[in-house]
Structure 1
């Protein structure tokens, strides 16, 4: 089983969990987010569930940063009892309407009120959480033998779409913080910084076994309209005013039209996961900003 080396890197930009306006911008169109964002591989859900069975008769799952409940509903379908924690009430409202119980709070500030869980999961959300404070909170609410699993859908845009995005951004948003060079790199290389940060946070708090990294490769075919429906849910675009968003969508749509109106996206769903040990280390004093919720290594992919 591959494990994550304890290497560290100095961030060159603000941590995602400190970028609260972006972290809380996804609820601006929560219905679109739930409609357009892809689900996670069943194989990932099954592996988390199967690896946690036996701790309780029914697996109690805490979904951190549950959003509209996309991952939560997948765990419910696997016969788990799920509670979500979500800071954006607009996202939480959609999740509740779709059958997920949700507490509205940032995970760092959330009060578990004595509740314990067999698994703590986070789908495309752990980078918005302080990696040390988040791991410490997960350790406190997990039962011994319970699993922490943070996972992301990482996609690799076809070169033609990358060039279209880069061209449009240079023209429409020349002063944008969008990292065009990172967009052209292998997506997994960019995201590995985030995976390592999550694993380092788990190691730092103690109380967990050695973090592992799981990977599930798959593909998805997008029509022009389906991809343009998803684009405004990405972090780089959620805060754009309509007069800026429209030419971005138009330029990318034209590129997809030139490709025949659809394209196939390569995905890798990657989980950083560790099992809570039987005993926890003595608590340490929190740093002054350990309760402030981090940014993606590349703005726009999350």
Structure 2
């Protein structure tokens, strides 16, 4: 799925952390983003908390499951201390709160941060690179679908600085690849609407191996800091059914569409809507959530 709009004057996705205008474009409609974007597997949240050094105050089987994008932000706040990098509207953060964690979000987009704060989250507005920890440390540092916006040369080192010995860094996100019957009309419509996009000539669907390679590269960067050990790759497979309206609500929250003109967006959504109609008005999305995690050394 393309992630850059045709009039994007900034660096291509090979250096997404430099594309600040795209990184901060998701707050155009923070409420839509929060409602449409899927959550994360409860098993992933369970594993991160269970493998972090903080006190685990209660079973987190009730942490919100993928696809809800909801949460009350009313966790007990007496368990694991979590720093959520690029927390957005707080989709992942609220799942960690529901697990009993105390969560601090760092978010560069003030609109997204304000929405997260309205849902009961503690959020500070800054890029992770510029954020000042002021001596605070955490049991876990997480980045949900956001690490690619962080400078890889400094992100892992700074995460090590704010993690307690034995604390866990967990970087995770979804492989967003709908079925070919939906992806191919989307790609064709995108090429017509945004012909100058660097993704216009790309494939309609990207193989999972590309995502896995990206997370393996993250692992290499973490290892090179010399501050972590036990680097692991995790994978969670799950599925979610989407109606036509649900998928068309999600699409405008993705990076390739957040900065298109209204007429361009309409043409793309019309084509995708027609494709979903031809499938009976709904389809099943097979998600893979990938994670790279590592443990902070206790001696460096």
Deviation at 1:53, TM superposition (A): 4.2
More displaced, 256-265 or 51-60?
51-60
Give the structure-2-normalised TM-score: 0.86
2:291 to 260, 267, 271: 271
State the partner residue of 1:140.
161
State the partner residue of 2:281.
261
Give secondary structure in 1 for the equivalent of 2:174.
strand
**Counterparts of 1:172 and 1:240, CA distance in 2:** 9
**Counterparts of 1:199 and 1:182, CA distance in 2:** 26
Deviation at 1:167, TM superposition (A): 1.7
Residues 183 and 195 (structure 1), Cα distance of their counterparts in 2 relative to 1, 3 Å cut = farther
State the partner residue of 1:69.
90
**Counterparts of 1:202 and 1:102, CA distance in 2:** 25
Residues 13 and 153 (structure 1), Cα distance of their counterparts in 2 relative to 1, 3 Å cut = closer
Contact 2:177 2:183 (8 Å CA) reproduced: no
Deviation at 1:201, TM superposition (A): 1.7
Give secondary structure in 2 for the equivalent of 1:84.
strand
Are residue 166 (structure 1) and residue 187 (structure 2) matched?
Answer: yes
Computed over aligned residues only, the root mean square deviation of the Cα atoms, in angstroms, reads 1.7
**Counterparts of 1:80 and 1:189, CA distance in 2:** 33
Contact 1:132 1:202 (8 Å CA) reproduced: no
Deviation at 1:210, TM superposition (A): 3.7
State the partner residue of 1:297.
none
Give secondary structure in 2 for the equivalent of 1:235.
coil
Contact 2:212 2:290 (8 Å CA) reproduced: no
Give secondary structure in 2 for the equivalent of 1:21.
helix
The aligned length equals 269
After superposition, give the CA deviation of every residue in 1:194-221 in whole Å (9 maximum; x if it has no partner).
Answer: 2123112211211100421100000000
State the partner residue of 1:50.
50
Which ranges of 4 or more aligned residues in structure 1 deviate by more than 4 Å? 53-57
**Counterparts of 1:210 and 1:132, CA distance in 2:** 20
State the partner residue of 1:184.
205
**Counterparts of 2:16 and 2:173, CA distance in 1:** 14
State the partner residue of 2:254.
234
Give the structure-1-normalised TM-score: 0.85
Contact 2:186 2:204 (8 Å CA) reproduced: no
State the structure with bigger RCO (CA 8 A, min sep 6), 1 or 2: 1
Contact 2:12 2:198 (8 Å CA) reproduced: no
Give secondary structure in 1 for the equivalent of 2:157.
helix
Instruction: Give the gaps of 5 or more residues in structure 2.
Output: 1-10, 57-77
Are residue 131 (structure 1) and residue 152 (structure 2) matched?
Answer: yes
Residues 12 and 172 (structure 1), Cα distance of their counterparts in 2 relative to 1, 3 Å cut = closer
After superposition, give the CA deviation of every residue in 1:250-302 in whole Å (9 maximum; x if it has no partner).
Answer: 0000000011100000001111100001022xxxxxxxxxxxxxxxxxxxxxx
Are residue 213 (structure 1) and residue 236 (structure 2) matched?
Answer: no
State the partner residue of 2:16.
16
Deviation at 1:163, TM superposition (A): 1.4
